[in-house]
Structure 1
């Protein structure tokens, strides 16, 4: 049994994560699904609320510089011009060849129907549920990917690496899903534990919390010798990748391996987006991870990249104005990043509402003009032939698809 001191130590460290705990990949699994055809869809959930105004900067709006003087978002800030109005954060500069060849796009002023409460956990749950604001009421509680599997023939789903959390709302529901849960046994061999240590080597808080979680699980008799089905050779290769490129590339490489086999849909999370203070450093690191994930997917998928759509979405955006600690607080409207040979790239989608105070949501946040679910739904429609009426009523209940934005090449 774990002594009280060990439990208290773990709980204190977990509490210390605060709202940023929602950004930790330790709290989420990776998910894969089979689907008919050769098209591949990768959903990357950016946990912690990515600042879309920083990632894809509206430098053509003069108010951006005024609102964020301490964050250095001017035309000469090092961001890469996209279309004369929007510019890409410097940390994403290596993705510009994809933009130029039409394999990279963004959508701005997007959000789920979630409003006002600005809780990471509620926002992420609603993002994965794909519903309106009924998530805490009597409405739909399963995930949109599970509902998609229910309407697609010959589809199936699998959850892997569910470290520290028993499920992922994205795949919860009536469709059968095979999964591993720490409520049973923690399949963490010494090699797998070493991999986790490598991934979190440079993040002391998450590293210590993760190690404490494993120690508690082992003390409770929840550990086994299975390393997630990975051979020693695969584990060594994963360790090498972790040391060389960090966890984003490791996750993307694993996802690509599955997508090169029977899987057609993959979903995983990247953390580090909760930038209340010192945003310049924090978002640069997080965007670097997203960039690594995209480039790794492209490299590892090879010719299958031409039939792949990658969408990176977050639970909500951040405030238009910076706060007093050179960061931004929880907001509403944000941005999503799209990549892949299946994407009609080289453009920023969406209706830009402007940053004038009267145009802001609650006079503080970027006003959402498009439901982020509609972009994902149109991809499902085009890639997997799911009927629009099915998407609006069953997969994303309450969604109004609107006009096809023409996301697919």
Structure 2
């Protein structure tokens, strides 16, 4: 690991004593290695991103009628129908290079109840509406289970929690790059004694301590670490981490691993629940998304040309603005595609229209394609996964439908 990445490992989030969990802003990163050369990054956008505002159907006359002032033509023109939200303007060069695309009017099979928790469970599990809960595996892990000889990355440190999308029997590695470990010498000796007979925990602890001690010494100017340094580390950990710093740290770490043996990375971004004043709240969520994509592009270097990024959310939002200038939980939404491996410069999807009769339950954008089908085609083209495995094992009961030709 480079000196720069070790500094990001420490970042502004150091823990005192035996605390392995950092602040609530820490985002778990999950990695997996595989015997192919292409890469896949999945970003879960938590909170239900409003696809109608992010990829605006300005060419549909119903849009301005539903959204009022917020539905007026605006943003960056993508084609004759859609425009990109102004706060994603930094991604337009990728669009022009064919390295950015979108799929509209997509959803999971989840309908009507509109719970974030159930919606995210179904999105990450890749199952149907009747199977919410976190007692099963995720669709990315099931994909890995179909590949013989899969081996995990070394476990670097323990994050706050695993992402369901990569939970399961296939070996994967988990690390929260904003969490580090600072131990007194007595606590370190105690942990080493307790974990001595367990090779997995012993080796993981040894590497986490080595990385953290190296960075603590850097913070201390190369001098021996004392109680004051540990206290300063704890105080730094208690300060909120700005989104730009956190997201940049996560994406840089993911890019570094993907330049090596890792082939899959998954992480999440929060803040897309825009019930009020959406014109102010949505840009605050879009800035980290743009930061993540651009940081991946920069960090991956030449590997970007072999990479596909899929950003997806649990469901969309209502077609109409509510009385607070926001949107409520809906049904269909949009997903973002990026990377040098995708066939970008397109807004895919069977557009259903925004006339009242065309809306789902006369309130939401009508789903016309399953978000799992987009992920399934991406895995098929990137990794050569057999269609029967996608429809029968990875996404049980899914019909992939026609090939959208996502990957170059």
Q: TM-score under structure 2 normalisation?
A: 0.77
> Counterparts of 1:228 and 1:344 in 2: how far apart (Å)?
42
Tell me if 1:174 matches 2:166: no
Paired residue secondary structure (1:328)? coil
Change (3 A) 1:341 1:235: farther
Aligned to 1:16: none
Change (3 A) 1:168 1:312: same
C-alpha displacement at 1:390, in angstroms? 0.5
Alpha-carbon displacement from aligned partner over 1:259-315 (angstroms, at most 9, x marks no partner): 111100000001110000111111112111111111111111011000100010000
Aligned to 2:35: 36
Q: How many residues align?
A: 340
C-alpha displacement at 1:177, in angstroms? 3.8
Q: TM-score under structure 1 normalisation?
A: 0.77
Q: Which runs of 5+ in 1 are unaligned?
A: 1-23, 192-223
Aligned to 2:302: 303
Q: Higher Cα Rg: structure 1 or 2?
A: 2
CA contact (8 A) 1:110 1:336 kept: yes
* RMSD, aligned α-carbons: 2.7
CA contact (8 A) 1:157 1:176 kept: yes
Match of 2:124 among 123, 128, 148: 128
> Counterparts of 2:242 and 2:175 in 1: how far apart (Å)?
26
Aligned to 2:149: 154
CA contact (8 A) 1:187 1:228 kept: no
Residues 10-409 of structure 1: matches in 2 within 5 Å?
26=26, 29-70=28-69, 72-75=70-73, 77=74, 79-136=75-132, 141-157=136-152, 163-165=159-161, 167-179=162-174, 188-189=180-181, 226=208, 229-230=211-212, 231-232=214-215, 245-409=244-408
Paired residue secondary structure (1:54)? helix
Change (3 A) 1:161 1:267: farther
Q: Which runs of 5+ in 2 are unaligned?
A: 1-23, 184-204, 220-235
Alpha-carbon displacement from aligned partner over 1:136-187 (angstroms, at most 9, x marks no partner): 48x982111111111012323457765433x321122222345579xxxx97
Change (3 A) 1:38 1:53: same
C-alpha displacement at 1:189, in angstroms? 3.3
Change (3 A) 1:100 1:34: same
